[in-house]
Amino acid sequence: MVKKEEKEEERDKQRIVETGKQLLNTIYEDEGKNKPILEDGGSYLVKKEDSKEGISLALEKIRNDDRGYFLSRRKSERIKEKYHPPRDVITYYTMDGSSGKQNFDPSILVHITHSVTDFLEKEGGTAVIDGSELLLQKNTFDKFTSFLDNLVTVTKSEDGILVVTLDLETVSEPQLEEIKERLESIF
């Protein structure tokens, strides 16, 4: 009688374990369905408050493609500490106005445009512009949208990927709508 109860108890435990596994599989499948996919030729806008998810998604794509471009107002060491990107496949640039090969003055969009364009044309892959609100602060809105237009055109023609993070507090609603006409909003 004791053995029969032990067998039933063991079967109950196995059912619970199997039910738990099924539940976890369902959760993971649903998570994967809700995760945006970055497609070649696409240009994407990520809200600053969601930038960690957007940048992580871009870095995942860079990891798979083995090439990437990362422009940020933060130094590359801080990016590496925060996101743990793949090693030696990303070229980092900062837009802090200091002199140097890997630095850009955010008020001179033509230099940034050439750099991103060269990367997309020569290497392809994913380009991330983190903190584009700095570019907006240092340039007119029209210059900024022309900058985006150029990058979107090259990204599409070269089958690259462009991810731009933006603090939505820095733009008006009409400006945001104009930006969204150029970049697909994710997150």
In a shared domain, residues 73 and 118:
yes
**Contact, 10 vs 129, CB < 8 A?**
no
pLDDT in tens, 38-50: 999 999 999 987 7
Which candidate, 114, 133, 135, 136, places its Cα nearest to that of 69? Answer: 114
Range of the domain at 132: 37-186
Q: State whether 2 and 77 are in the same domain.
A: no
CA distance 6 to 151: 67
Q: Are residues 25 and 116 in the same domain?
A: no
For 124, the token pair is 């392809």
Model confidence pLDDT, tens digit, residues 15-67? 776 666 565 555 555 555 567 889 999 999 999 877 888 888 998 899 888 88
The verdict on 167 and 155 lying in the same domain is yes
Q: What is the pLDDT of residues 119-172, one digit of tens each?
A: 999 999 999 999 999 999 999 999 999 999 999 999 999 999 999 999 999 999
Size (the chain), residues: 187
Q: Measured between alpha carbons, how far is 62 from 30 in angstroms, rounded to an integer? A: 24
Judge whether 67 and 124 are in contact, CB under 8 Å. Answer: yes
Can you name the residues that pair with 94 across neighbouring β-strands?
72, 103
